[in-house]
Amino acid sequence: MDSFLPSPDCDTISKTDNGQIDSHLIQKTNEGYREILPNLPRGKGWMTEHLVQYQGVWLTPNFALKGLMWVQDHFKPRSTDICLATFPKTGTTWLKALTFATVNRTRYGFTDHPLLTTVPHGCLPFLEACPKDLDGFPSPRLLSTHIPYTLLPNSMTVNQSCRFVYICRDPKDVLVSKWLFMNKLRPKELAPISLEEAFELFCQGISHYGPYWDHVLGYWKASLETPEKVLFLKYEELKEEPSVVVKRLGEFLGHPFSLEEVSKGVVEEIVKLCSFENLSNLEVNKSSVLKLSTQIIIDNRHFFRKGKVGDGKSYLTDEMIKRINEITSEKLLGSGLVFGS
């Protein structure tokens, strides 16, 4: 089975050895979800009417929460699994493309590459999107998630069953990119969310998989404790020196670039293939859609806006910038982490 095939909905994920859907496990997750949902704190949603707070994290009540519960209860990691972890709008699409191209560079040519006809999100399924039974996927499995490190099951973290690649981004750029993206997905019956409202919610931590600073610090601390298991990247560094970061990525993933590959320009070919300019102009990313669930269908073009560093400052007022910088300094105090390059 090709690992880049898109995944179906949650209700078709778990299958027994004879290929039949395991309705018992699905029912168990759904029952647990229905039991806890009414008692969870609620906050205003960006894309949906509201978010719910579960184990300290804000999630969409159906898609993300139910998917997270499934991962916590039933996902079976392998020691060879590679999981890309990101907070939404921090460079997820780009990182997926670069990782897929790096790991599969001997499998596909640059002229007939799957990324030319498939959106990067179709190459690495989201765990919480309830992918179909992953047992049939060849190792190493390339997966992705927005789930905070602290909420992942112990089988993935404490037991160090798989490796993670994480990318962070300046919170000002994340906020603006997230606000613009979510408004495009917001149902027509819900009024658009204003930048001022999105700003307040973001600062309070009420955003998908937020608070943002907690999300980043979880993976940052894990990368310090187990650097061989968690590679921590910065969007700004990737923009500044993509070839350097790609070589670092290949080394971490167990697919280091040989001297011959470097001399032949393979790294630069991967960077070019996965560049914003190239991917955003492909027909598949202009006219096709990505179906994450029966409720969430996203136009591929929405994954490609500008891809620039510092664009958040074009939208935020001086007071907004000052407040976010103050929150960032307070949250990251003593961690050793500084946003940017």
Catalytic residues, which ones?
Answer: 146
Strand partners, 15: 21
Cα distance between the two ends of the chain: 39
Extract the tokens encoding 75.
Answer: 């996902």
CB 54 within 8 A of CB 68: yes
Question: 226's torsion region: left (phi>0), alpha (psi -120 to 50) or beta?
Answer: beta
**What does the alpha-carbon distance between residue 336 and residue 333 come to, in Å, rounded to a whole number?**
7
How far apart (Å, rounded) are the C-alpha atoms in residues 298 and 315? 24
Q: In sequence order, which residues have a C-beta less than 8 Å from that of residue 230 and are 6 or more positions away?
A: 149, 163, 164, 165, 166, 219, 222, 223
Question: DSSP alpha helices (H): ranges in 1-158?
Answer: 23-36, 63-74, 92-103
